[in-house]
Amino acid sequence: MAQAHLQIDLSALQNNWRALDAHSATGVETAATVKANGYGLGAGHVAHALAHAGARRFFVAVAEEGLAVRAAIGPDLPIHVYSGHMDGDARILRDAKLIPMLNSVEQLTRHVEALPGHPFGIQLDSGMNRLGMEPAEWASVAQIVLGQRPVLLMSHLACSDEPDHSMNAQQLAQFHEMTEGTGLPRSLSATGGVLLGPEYHFEMTRPGIGLYGGAPFTSAQAVVRLSIPVIQTREVLAGESVGYGNSFIAPRDMQLATIAAGYADGIHRALSDKVTLWAGDVPCPLVGRVSMDLLTIDVSDAPEPPDWLDLLGPHQGVDDIAGLLDTIGYEILTGLGPRYARRYL
Ligand SMILES: *Cc1c(COP(=O)(O)O)cnc(C)c1O
């Protein structure tokens, strides 16, 4: 089999949830964000494992994502939808018992007309200008809305991965101003906000990336290991070229392994000539271009020809790869393709 293995350590995931939960006081609920198919790792498996660890509430981005989560966690635990109530969502919200986080008066109207009495929350814009009701909009409907008992008021921080950024305190103050005295449960923080400290926790936090082992939760346990099988090894002589465009010319005689993954699997072509894989503890640099389904790796330093090489594992995490590409671990994780055999530990 030439299928690469994406190993997902569910007990590390559970430990990360427990560790983030321990950052806030006992009375603060730690929910879990499992959008984008559980950050690419399989929403059903991830939600099921987190529910076993103690998570009692889940968040997805769009209503359709709620189905797999609902199937995995059973009928009772609440699932919230960040994008709120979009046109055509009523049936899925009702059947899967999802709670839309309403983002505008338009969504509010749609929701009460389509699903009167169905639970909802409200998303407020405290300064990020992405989703949620703005202060003036909220002020104009707050009294009526509060009479309908939303289950949660939430907002989202734009700069929580930079603890010293003045935007954090600014949004905190704005969120207080918009929600003080409502007596309703409130949530402001994702992973970054959990780490900012208790004044950011309110009644509920909703981390995502930290659960999956990514920054800014730097003490997280690694959750993913990506191991790619060797299809073929060959010797190349000094001066021979390797791969598309002849972009690599062997500077000396070398031992090369051709392995079964490429840019179609989320291994960005921009990693050509840049990244190192690992044969156990031995670093083995990628040479030449990343192809759609294949990589060529210099395994000259491996004591014996390896059968597998790790791109992600104990020596290298998603944030290390992200650093090479000037992006963030979230993008690497959610970009891991569908062709891997996902194996759950
Ligand atoms: C994605 C998201 C989260 C989780 O964020 P992380 O940084 O992954 O912890 C929380 N809230 C909202 C609104 C989000 O979009």
Q: Which ligand 1 atom is the nearest neighbour of the CA of 209?
A: 8
Same domain, yes or no: 160 and 279: no
Number of domains in the chain: 2
Which residue among 181, 212, 243 closes a domain? 212
Domain-located, residue 4:
no
Domain-located, residue 104:
yes
> For ligand 1, is residue 133 a contact (CB within 6 Å)?
no
Q: Are 280 and 322 in contact (CB under 8 A)?
A: no
pLDDT in tens, 90-145: 999 999 999 999 999 999 999 999 999 999 999 999 999 999 999 999 999 999 99
Q: Are 298 and 306 in contact (CB under 8 A)?
A: no
Domain-located, residue 219:
no
> For ligand 1, is residue 190 a contact (CB within 6 Å)?
yes
List of the chain residues with pLDDT < 70: none
Same domain, yes or no: 268 and 185: no
Domain-located, residue 86:
yes
pLDDT in tens, 4-24: 999 999 999 999 999 999 999
Same domain, yes or no: 208 and 231: no
The whole-number pLDDT of residue 1 equals: 86
* Range of the structural domain that residue 287 is part of: 224-344
Distances from the Cα of 39 to the Cαs of 32, 175, 299, in angstroms?
Answer: 11, 27, 31
Same domain, yes or no: 32 and 167: yes
Same domain, yes or no: 192 and 288: no
Domain-located, residue 105:
yes
Options 212, 244, 274, 344, the catalytic residue: 244
Same domain, yes or no: 113 and 138: yes
* CATH code (residue 248): 2.40.37.10
Distances from the Cα of 115 to the Cαs of 67, 110, 120, 185, in angstroms?
Answer: 18, 8, 10, 22
Token digits for 311?
Answer: 């791109």
* CATH code (residue 96): 3.20.20.10
Hey, what amino acid is at 136?
Answer: A
Which residue among 152, 185, 212 closes a domain? 212
> For ligand 1, is residue 334 a contact (CB within 6 Å)?
no
Domain-located, residue 3:
no
User: Phi/psi class of residue 265: alpha, beta or left (left: φ > 0; alpha: ψ in -120 to 50)?
Assistant: alpha
Domain-located, residue 217:
no
Domain-located, residue 5:
no
Q: Which ligand 1 atom is the nearest neighbour of the CA of 33?
A: 4
Same domain, yes or no: 325 and 240: yes
Ligand 1 center from residue 293 Cα (angstroms): 31
Same domain, yes or no: 23 and 71: yes
Which residue among 212, 243, 260 closes a domain? 212
3-state secondary structure at position 264: helix
User: Phi/psi class of residue 87: alpha, beta or left (left: φ > 0; alpha: ψ in -120 to 50)?
Assistant: beta
Same domain, yes or no: 285 and 235: yes
pTM: 0.97
Same domain, yes or no: 20 and 156: yes
Look at residues 256, 267, 261, 274 and name the one whose alpha carbon lies nearest to residue 229.
261
Distances from the Cα of 213 to the Cαs of 4, 269, 286, in angstroms?
Answer: 20, 24, 24
Q: Where does residue 280 rank: exposed (0-12), middle (13-18), buried (19+ CB within 10 A)? A: middle
C-alpha span between 49 and 212 (Å, rounded): 12
C-alpha span between 318 and 277 (Å, rounded): 13
**Residue with CA closest to ligand 1 atom 12:** 156
Same domain, yes or no: 139 and 250: no
Same domain, yes or no: 286 and 206: no
Is 344 designated active site?
A: no
